[in-house]
Chains A and B, each alone.
Chain A
């Protein structure tokens, strides 16, 4: 994209420090932010509602519905703020992965699949219970530290035909304009989010794939170890800032 090349002419000096990182909502226009805050006008809530309906629906296998084991969906408050999680053996599980695992192990039902209406709805519904709560992902222990390091490496390494790293846009040039967009800190705290560009809801991994495509780099697959490591790094970077799911994005 030639327009990203133009960006290099307006590079600000230096990398963003932790105190420079701001919530994604602060980078939205006045109109979009108002819409994100208005549940009567924000289409993302349609998916949250669909997810709430699914929560109490038992699978065909006869195993319990989500409600059957977890009780009311209100018990999911705070859960999304602690994802993704890293097991002691170094496996990274994000919220989508956790839901799919529950579905397979406890409901004996087939996986929904990334970007399916069903997985987006259920993930959005669970994550919405943490809306406004500070991101508080756990990164202690050697396993998590290794994943975090890998995520940081991906974030700071130049990639693609445009030879740009995430940091160059989202740290060094956050707040500046790139065509019609204002570059955010790229936190990902609003995902699954309703994106105008997609005319619908999408996951964080879908957004990351769009970013990869944007710099003409290899797009990793949904749920790939690369995007999961990056997801952990982004969550760590967003520590203390509010979960915004369902987010509204351009």
Chain B
């Protein structure tokens, strides 16, 4: 039975820093860019590096539509035995119209047991979500789905 763990006693006693992980004093941070230098097409081409993906083996689970682009659930499952000899090494999620098309890359090992990952995306607008999985045998598997993003009524900036 899964249990959700909160802070450990060690965290409480050791002066756990509360709240938001803020800027560490004196450490330089990356300057924000409004958008990526790499387009969606370029990102996909870079991942494919000349290989042709199979349009099979990748299942994308997302809601029918997103009520708020700030938080869109995605679960990706790739059919794979996940053995040392044949396993999924990387799963890439790309968002066609996001300012930064590379949303996430998951790195798996045979210890995963299953090639199944979930996360939550931020989507700028209605767009195609593309998932590409790379296997240890050098195979590429691809799937894509449209995600409709609607705005709520009280987009208040407040």
**A and B in contact, CB less than 8 Å:** yes
**Contact surface of A with B, Cβ cutoff 8 Å:** 1, 3-4, 29, 31-32, 35, 39-40, 45, 49-50, 52-54, 56, 117-118, 121, 178-181, 183, 196-197, 199, 206, 209-211, 213-214, 219, 250
Cβ of B20 within 8 Å of any chain A Cβ, yes or no, is yes
Closest to B71 in A: A196
Beyond the given A45-B4, A49-B6, A196-B67, please list 10 additional residue pairs across the A-B interface where CB-CB is below 8 A.
Answer: A54-B18, A56-B12, A181-B152, A181-B154, A199-B70, A199-B71, A210-B158, A211-B154, A213-B158, A214-B154
Q: Is the CB of B18 within 8 A of A117?
A: yes
CA distance A1 to B152 in the complex (A): 12
Which of B18, B20, B153 is within 8 Å of A180, CB to CB?
Answer: B153
Q: Is the CB of B19 within 8 A of A197?
A: no
Cβ of B79 within 8 Å of any chain A Cβ, yes or no, is no
Given contacts A52-B6, A117-B18, A121-B19, whether A214 and B67 have CB atoms under 8 Å apart is: no
Q: Is the CB of B19 within 8 A of A179?
A: no
The interface residues of chain A lying within 8 Å CB-to-CB of B150 are 179-180
Which of B4, B67, B71 is within 8 Å of A39, CB to CB?
Answer: B4
CA distance A246 to B157 in the complex (A): 21
Q: How far is the CB of B36 from chain A (nearest CB, A)?
A: 21
Q: Is the CB of B158 within 8 A of A206?
A: yes
Which of A118, A181, A219 is within 8 Å of B19, CB to CB?
Answer: A118
Q: Is the CB of B63 within 8 A of A31?
A: yes
Cβ of B32 within 8 Å of any chain A Cβ, yes or no, is no
Cβ of B68 within 8 Å of any chain A Cβ, yes or no, is yes
CA distance A45 to B11 in the complex (A): 17
Closest to A212 in B: B158
Q: Is the CB of A180 within 8 A of B67?
A: yes
Residues 13-28 of chain B, each 1 if its beta carbon lies under 8 Å from chain A, else 0: 0001011100000000
Closest to B11 in A: A53
The binding surface of chain B is classed by DSSP as loop
Q: How far is the CB of A247 from chain B (nearest CB, A)?
A: 14
The interface residues of chain A lying within 8 Å CB-to-CB of B19 are 50, 117-118, 121
Q: Is the CB of A197 within 8 A of B18?
A: no
Q: Is the CB of B151 within 8 A of A32?
A: no
The binding surface of chain A is classed by DSSP as helix
CA distance A199 to B157 in the complex (A): 11
The interface residues of chain B lying within 8 Å CB-to-CB of A45 are 4
Q: Is the CB of A4 within 8 A of B18?
A: no
The interface residues of chain B lying within 8 Å CB-to-CB of A206 are 158
Closest to B65 in A: A180
Q: What would 13 A/B residue contacts be, using CB atoms closer than 8 Å?
A: A4-B153, A29-B63, A53-B11, A53-B16, A117-B19, A179-B151, A180-B152, A181-B67, A196-B68, A210-B156, A213-B158, A214-B156, A250-B68
Cβ of B1 within 8 Å of any chain A Cβ, yes or no, is no
Cβ of B30 within 8 Å of any chain A Cβ, yes or no, is no
Q: Is the CB of A53 within 8 A of B12?
A: yes
CA distance A214 to B151 in the complex (A): 14
Q: How far is the CB of B75 from chain A (nearest CB, A)?
A: 11
Q: How far is the CB of B21 from chain A (nearest CB, A)?
A: 11
